[in-house]
Amino acid sequence: MGLTAPKSISGLPQEEAESELRLGDIPLSQTVELVRIDLPAEQAEPLLERGVLPGCRICPVRSSPAGDPIVSVDGSLLALRRETANCLCVRLLSDVS
Amino acid sequence: MRDLSATTEGTTPTRSQAENEVRLPLIALIGPPNSGKTTLFNRLTGLRQKVANYPGVTVEKYVGQVQCNRERTVELVDLPGVHGFSARTLDERVTRDVLEGHAEDLPAPDAVVLIVDCTRLESQLMLVEPVLKLEIPTLLVLNMWDELEERGGNLNEMELADLLGVEVVKTNARVGLGVERIKEFLLGVEIRERGLPPPVRVLSNVPRGVPLPMIDAFTARRRRLDKVVDRASFVSPAPARLTAALDAVFLHRIWGPLVFLTVVIVVFQSIFTWAVPLMDGVELLITSSGEWLASKLADGWFRSLLIDGVWAGVGSVVVFLPQILILFLFLGILEDSGYMARAAVIADRIMYRVGLQGRAFLPLLSGYACAIPAILAARTVEDERDRLATIFITPFMTCSARLPIYALLIAAFIPEGRLLGPFLGYRAAVLLGLYGLGIVAAVVTAFLLKRTLLRAQPGSFVMDLPSYRLPSVRSIGLRLLDRSKIFLRRAGRIIFAVAIVLWVLTQFPRTDAGPPLIEDSALGRIGQVIEPAIEPLGFDWRIGVGLVTSLAAREVIVGTLGTIYGVEDATDDSITLQETLRRDLTLPAAIGLLVFFAFALQCMSTVAVMRRETGGWKWPILQFSYMLFLAYSGAFIAVRLF
């Protein structure tokens, strides 16, 4: 168990600093790939359990009345806070379809 | 370690007893939230579910019996929905303890039924690996199969069964499809050997002794699962169109909050309008049966006890059953349809400002029905300080036990009339105001707590938004039946006992002419001792007695007043409780009493469950004193304001 929680946990070994795009910046209906979760382990775990893992495809589908993102991951709808979404580093998918 | 064992009251024999005799095979039912677990549980156990509840206390695990065929019955335990086994939340700890065989009141299960929503197979299967590690017979239930097919998804379930090495059943628990196959599995479950100590199995999200950081372990598990899902030719379904269309309205910037408000108003209005004919019916039933009984009995102390004591006391509370059922009906529909999760999203920003998680919204909302299941539901709140703050403010939510006294006083003192066209009358508006008062107190309290005793950084928030579904009549019906049983049992036990004690106190000391005037009776004298304390609030001794008895449970005050006035006005049957209240209470004092009830923690079950959930007396004592202080000062101010 990740009891000794690292400040931030990275999925890919050495992520280049270029991918500083956050999920909170992504416009609606644009699918992106999750690169890194900048959250302490105990806060990241609920995300991990719901399939929000580095490498997964994630797509903001709408925003709540207060402007918080609602995203689609693996066919599940998840509501996040924008503070949480801003801790998720993402990458645009190169093959734009 | 906290004592999480369920308080059951003589419903089940203790486990050691049962083990010596013939133990039924025990099967654990687990799955992620919103996978249809409880629907399946109700399907399998039907009406023969043993309500393992202390009156009013919903315990965290339900045990029911399943009749597989004529000879064979097995026990099924319904565990809280979990996404994983991190034991980060109390719910997860409960689930883990039961599966690992560490629960005090249950043996280790002989088999597991794991139910998943197969429209979201990839993420839902994250539970499979740790469950398989338990190495006990497992059945994987692919629920909502119909929805998968409807939306163009597909899966080779035989292949999936082979790859995972478990039995697999496709179901639609809502209509009962596939339930027979599950029963076949249950039929084959054997009781595992009890002679040897059970092997130590530890559930965890991350395998023990694996040096990988958590995220890598998760990713690795996910890769293995993706392979399995691919080879079982899983085609994920198209997005649910209805859900998208409804969300476009319910989560709309303007329509969303409007719908939210409308829903709340409709619920409260209907508590007053729809319930009236039903309540009149119940009341008629009680009075006519009381009169019938009275006519059959000889005049004497027994008739007086039965009619003026018990019938008046218990009857005056039972009248409120329709209102409470309507409230639970609405909560059930909102929850089962999937709207509640959207409401939580709309409320999250407000919760965030207060310093709480949006997840706390669900327990708080169920606090409108009853604080006890709500305090238990707060186990899903992940941060311990947030959980404490959530359960501390839960009793401010206007629970259904307040409805009897609210409804009685409002009907007696607030005139009918329209405030906002046909939608909102004066009475519903006052009721809404009382609910609002509770919310304000809760918000202020949470704000203070999060800045003093429970200071913490706001955490992250993830909320699952399930697809919208038509609520099942059967599932909601079963829950309403459950609530009726609990309510009537409370009325039958506490209120019955209080009614008898009160009646006896009104009969002594005897005078030459028989029972004393009520002011001179033992009860009257007790009330007059209390009176100076509540006199500044404008309450007389009768209300004082009601306040004391309602310490057991709020609705008891109505029964108490029913008994007191029943004895006092025994000669005049036509006079109603409302009329006598109008005679003895001024309007400001009535408002003061409403405010008192909005704030005070008059519920022993809540205090008991608080002690259990916080592991000591510190929090319940603090909470009780704080709420009493608010109640007294609130009523004191209200009486002078109006």
Task: Tell me the C-alpha distance between B91 and B88, whole Å.
Answer: 8
B345/A contact by beta carbon, under 8 A: yes
* CA–CA min distance B68, chain A (Å): 34
In a domain, A7, yes or no: no
Residue B222 has its nearest CB partner, among A44, A53, A87, at A53
* CA–CA min distance B457, chain A (Å): 12
* CA–CA min distance A36, chain B (Å): 10
pLDDT at B256: 92
* Interface mutation target, options B208, B210, B218, B241, chain A, most CBs of A under 10 Å: B218
In a domain, A3, yes or no: no
Task: Tell me the C-alpha distance between B491 and B476, whole Å.
Answer: 22
| Region for residue A22 given its phi and psi (left: phi exceeds 0; alpha: psi -120 to 50; beta: otherwise) | beta
Nearest chain A residue to B239 by CA distance is: A75
In b/e form, how buried is each residue of B554-582, taking b as 16+ CB within 10 angstroms? bbbbbbbbbbbbbbbbeeeeeebbeebbe
Which chain B residues contact residue A80 at CB under 8 A?
Answer: 460-463
CB contact under 8 A, A83 and B458: yes
In a domain, A4, yes or no: no
Nearest chain A residue to B118 by CA distance is: A75
A83/B contact by beta carbon, under 8 A: yes
What does residue B153 show for φ and ψ, rounded to 5 degrees?
A: -90, 170
* Interface mutation target, options B83, B359, B362, B460, chain A, most CBs of A under 10 Å: B460
* Interface mutation target, options A37, A43, A64, A87, chain B, most CBs of B under 10 Å: A64
Q: Is-contact B42 B475, C-beta < 8 A?
A: yes
Residue B247 has its nearest CB partner, among A42, A48, A62, at A62
CA angle B108, B110, B112 (to 5 degrees): 100
B213/A contact by beta carbon, under 8 A: yes
pLDDT at B199: 52
Q: Is-contact B314 B491, C-beta < 8 A?
A: yes
Q: Identify the CATH number of the domain in which residue A47 sits.
A: 2.30.30.90
Tens of pLDDT, residue by residue over A9-37, are 444 444 444 557 999 889 998 999 999 88
In b/e form, how buried is each residue of B180-206, taking b as 16+ CB within 10 angstroms? ebbbebbeebeebeeeeeeeeeebbbb
In b/e form, how buried is each residue of B331-369, taking b as 16+ CB within 10 angstroms? bbbbbbbbbbbbbbbbbbbebbebbbbbbbbbbbbbbbb
Task: Tell me the C-alpha distance between B330 and B344, whole Å.
Answer: 16
Nearest chain A residue to B215 by CA distance is: A11
What is the DSSP annotation of B281-333?
A: HHHHHHHHHHHHHHHHSPSSHHHIIIIIIIIHHHHHHHTTHHHHHHHHHHHHH
B18/A contact by beta carbon, under 8 A: no
Which chain B residues contact residue A9 at CB under 8 A?
Answer: 213-215
B351/A contact by beta carbon, under 8 A: no
Residue B256 has its nearest CB partner, among A51, A65, A77, at A65
* CA–CA min distance B458, chain A (Å): 10
**Could you tell me the pTM of the whole model?**
0.76
Alpha-helical regions (H) of B355-425: 361-366, 371-377, 384-393, 403-413
Residues of chain B with confidence (pLDDT) below 50: 1-20, 48-59, 195-197, 200, 208-211
Q: So what's the architecture of B15-231 in CATH?
A: 3-Layer(aba) Sandwich (3.40)
In a domain, A34, yes or no: yes
pLDDT at B204: 59
**DSSP helix, strand, coil percent of chain A (3-state; round to 5):** 15, 30, 50
Query: What residue spans define the domains of chain B?
Result: 15-231, 475-641
B152/A contact by beta carbon, under 8 A: no
Tens of pLDDT, residue by residue over A37-93, are 888 877 788 888 888 988 889 999 999 998 999 999 988 899 998 888 999 999 988
Neighbours of B414 (CB within 10 A): 19
What does residue B507 show for φ and ψ, rounded to 5 degrees?
A: -95, -10
What does residue B67 show for φ and ψ, rounded to 5 degrees?
A: -90, 105
pLDDT at B365: 73
* Chain B, window 366-425: residues with a beta carbon less than 8 angstroms from a chain A beta carbon: 382
Query: Look-up: residue for tokens 């503070």?
Result: A83
* Interface mutation target, options A9, A77, A78, A86, chain B, most CBs of B under 10 Å: A77
Q: Is-contact A82 A23, C-beta < 8 A?
A: no
CB contact under 8 A, B126 and A65: no
* CA–CA min distance B240, chain A (Å): 9
pLDDT at B578: 84
**And the tokens for B306?**
């039965």
pLDDT at A1: 39
* CA–CA min distance A92, chain B (Å): 20
Closest CA to B256 of B349, B380, B354: B349
CB contact under 8 A, B244 and A72: no
Residue A76 has its nearest CB partner, among B88, B216, B464, at B464
Task: Tell me the C-alpha distance between B61 and B379, whole Å.
Answer: 13
Q: Is-contact B472 B403, C-beta < 8 A?
A: no
In a domain, A2, yes or no: no
CB contact under 8 A, A68 and B345: yes
Q: Which residue has the higher pLDDT, A1 or B68?
A: B68
pLDDT at B87: 66
Which chain A residues contact residue B459 at CB under 8 A?
Answer: 43
Residue A46 has its nearest CB partner, among B462, B465, B466, at B462
Which chain B residues contact residue A44 at CB under 8 A?
Answer: 214-215
Total structural domains within chain A: 1
Residue A62 has its nearest CB partner, among B86, B251, B358, at B251
A59/B contact by beta carbon, under 8 A: no
Q: Interface pTM (ipTM) of the complex?
A: 0.80
* Interface mutation target, options A1, A15, A58, A70, chain B, most CBs of B under 10 Å: A1
In a domain, A26, yes or no: yes
In a domain, A14, yes or no: no
Query: Look-up: residue for tokens 């589908």?
Result: A61
* Interface mutation target, options B116, B123, B386, chain A, most CBs of A under 10 Å: B123
A and B: number of Cβ contacts within 8 A: 145
Neighbours of B19 (CB within 10 A): 12
A21/B contact by beta carbon, under 8 A: no
* CA–CA min distance B361, chain A (Å): 14
pLDDT at B279: 80
User: Domain residues for A41?
Assistant: 20-51+58-74+81-97
Alpha-helical regions (H) of chain A: 41-49, 82-85
pLDDT at B553: 76
